[in-house]
Structure 1
């Protein structure tokens, strides 16, 4: 639990390592699942090479969106300017900003993949790429928002500094869900 004054205490390397080492081991195992999913989707990625171009951006952007929100939540928590109040306008403005950024990034990803597909001779219709990118990307963005909130407030309630936990948890979880969703949506759209 947080200290009596509401702070999470001072920086202590031993506490950080003892909190993070088991967490990082679990997260490494979880990320292996994303790798296995990618390996199982090799046939799909071979058939539609432009999808392979989208994978790193899809996964990376989802994690980045989650870390943006996690960092903002953690900062507000440390400053004492937030609590989990559903009437907090700034909280919802941050969520809206992340979702708007996701829509922009994943639309750009689809258009970029369409252009690359035409250049390398592996074109897919822009409508298919937009569907894959936006459905996958916005789903991942929502998952990133949920895990950002859960990790930030869960860590704080457990007395662990959210700065130590939010980014590794959110990025790893979003990587796994990002791969699963992207491959699933791609399979549905292109079948």
Structure 2
């Protein structure tokens, strides 16, 4: 079957045959994030405010990657893009995702700082900004790389990127996001 005809397929068998093995592998991979979180229990107990940041850190990273993937997938389906490093619209999308990441992760640090003051568990704003921005921007770069790779890889394999990008990017970014966040937090506060 030609790649173009498979991309538009709404056939349940095609979707299931592509997604079931992928989801099993991704479930196994995301266990790593849970193990990392379990291993960081002492750090999160000592600095409870970090536990408040975890869901947003991990969720926002995955969302950034899926935003980029969705935009690229739409352009692929419309035939308005190819894998070309000279594609200015592609780079504009990457820059927009990174700018959004800087905004979101700065707001996360400020929000955590305010919560820390309210619940009487403060951490210095400078430490929270460092943790949030270094972790967040690193996660955003991972999200961009995996968003691009997954979108173009799926397309080249003749698999509809709409079926693969969101689960792959969100799961991979969950794992890397947790590892990076805990690592940066340990370096900054340890």
**TM-score above 0.5:** yes
Structure 2's unaligned 5+ residue stretches are none
Q: Secondary structure at the match of 2:7?
A: coil
**Alpha carbons 2:75, 2:81 under 8 Å: kept:** yes
CA–CA distance in structure 2, aligned partners of residues 146 and 69 of structure 1: 10
TM-score (norm 1): 0.97
Q: Which residue of 1 aligns with 2:189?
A: 190
Matches within 5 A, 1:1-191: 2-3=2-3, 8-191=7-190
CA–CA distance in structure 1, aligned partners of residues 169 and 36 of structure 2: 19
- Residues 151-182 of structure 1: CA distance to partner in whole angstroms, max 9, x if unpaired? 00100111100000000000000000000000
RMSD (Å), alpha carbons = 1.2
CA–CA distance in structure 2, aligned partners of residues 37 and 151 of structure 1: 24
Structure 1's unaligned 5+ residue stretches are none
CA–CA distance in structure 1, aligned partners of residues 9 and 22 of structure 2: 20
**Alpha carbons 1:152, 1:166 under 8 Å: kept:** yes
TM-score (norm 2): 0.97
Q: How many residues align?
A: 190
Moved over 4 A (4+): none
